[in-house]
Amino acid sequence: MKKYKLALVGATGVVGRVTRNVLEEYDLPISEYKFFSSSKSAGTKITFMNREYVVEELTESSFNEGFDYAIFTAGGKVAEKYAPIANKNKCIVIDNSSFFRMNKEVPLIVPEVNMEEARRHNGIIANPNCSTIQAVVALSPLDREYRIKRVVYSTYQAVSGAGLGGIQDLESAIEHYVGNTKHELRKFPYEIFNNCIPHIDDFTDDRYTKEEHKMINETRKILKRSNLPITATTVRVPVFNSHSESINIEFEKEFEINDLIETLKKAPGIVVKDDIDNNVYPMPIDTNNQDKVYVGRIRRDYSVKSGINLWVVADNTRKGAGANAVQILKELMFFGTLEN
């Protein structure tokens, strides 16, 4: 089998570090790796697959070296500038930022849901928002079986979703609480420790946040349901890692609860953890470092004719970011790209 050459852009950030870990675990047919960052982190030494690498500064000439693939974990401005440069050098880009997600020419991919679309790419593949990824893994099999009529999202999102600054805000607040040490906020507008902040990303003119719009619009694109009624409230909570979501779904078709649970159990990428007699349900502490999406608290919504409530939890830095990108990469390497 062919051996590939891979570039990881944003290698020293939170998602970049997780992506490196996932790449080590998956051990794909890659003969050469290169790690890139901004000038601020360039020169950092990292250990990867028992070998020391020096992180290089990303420049306009970085992709002259003949990469087959690149995973970008460095934000929208970096993707906007450098993904087209990579493409000109015949490098396929899997981008974790929001920049390309709603571009009609760019597939927005969760492998368990719509991998076939990724194989018809034009050089760039977008990784969805972390909270969207875990949601659509659960929604997709139910939409195929019962036809979703409406979705209500309420999210409880970990601080790792805000990057290193979010993690540091929670860490330093705990240290301040325990030892009365000096504490300054780096990321959030308010204290996150012992608090919930109903504000993720910027507010828009309609009083929603950009994060809420991402979940709404990305879900529609991935499920190919452009007019699907969806609403969302996204909240940051004092949890280090793994997002939780309460998802209320109304269906067009009626269902039997046991049949619906079986549909979820048979779906790819899902672990049903739902034994209320023994207090078994998904929680963030159970899903860290996992690539599956955990679903529990499955119960009817009696306020509508055909409705359900789900509790969905997943590691937002792995399945919600790094692992999803590496899973896309793996599928492309083993099954290839389709001709447009």
* Rounded Cα gap, residues 130 and 124, in angstroms: 18
CB atoms within 10 A of CB 248: 17
Write phi, then psi, for 254 (nearest 5 degrees): -80, 165
Structure tokens at 223: 């499920």
Catalytic choice (91, 176, 183, 243): 243
Distances (CA, A) of 106 to 100, 116, 336: 7, 13, 17
- Could you tell me where the DSSP H helices lie in the chain? 14-26, 76-88, 111-118, 130-146, 164-179, 210-223, 257-266, 284-287, 323-335
* Rounded Cα gap, residues 337 and 299, in angstroms: 40
Contact 244, 233 (CB under 8 A): no
Q: What angle do CA 264, 267, 271 make, to 5 degrees?
A: 65
For residue 194, which amino acid is it?
N
Q: What is the largest CA-CA distance in the chain?
A: 61
Show the beta-strand stretches assigned E in 270-324: 270-272, 293-300, 307-314
For residue 286, which amino acid is it?
D
* Rounded Cα gap, residues 175 and 181, in angstroms: 6
Active site residue 243: yes
Q: Is 217 left (phi over 0), alpha (psi -120 to 50) or beta?
A: alpha
Active site residue 196: no
Catalytic choice (91, 121, 130, 176): 130
Q: What angle do CA 135, 228, 255 make, to 5 degrees?
A: 70
Catalytic site positions? 130, 243
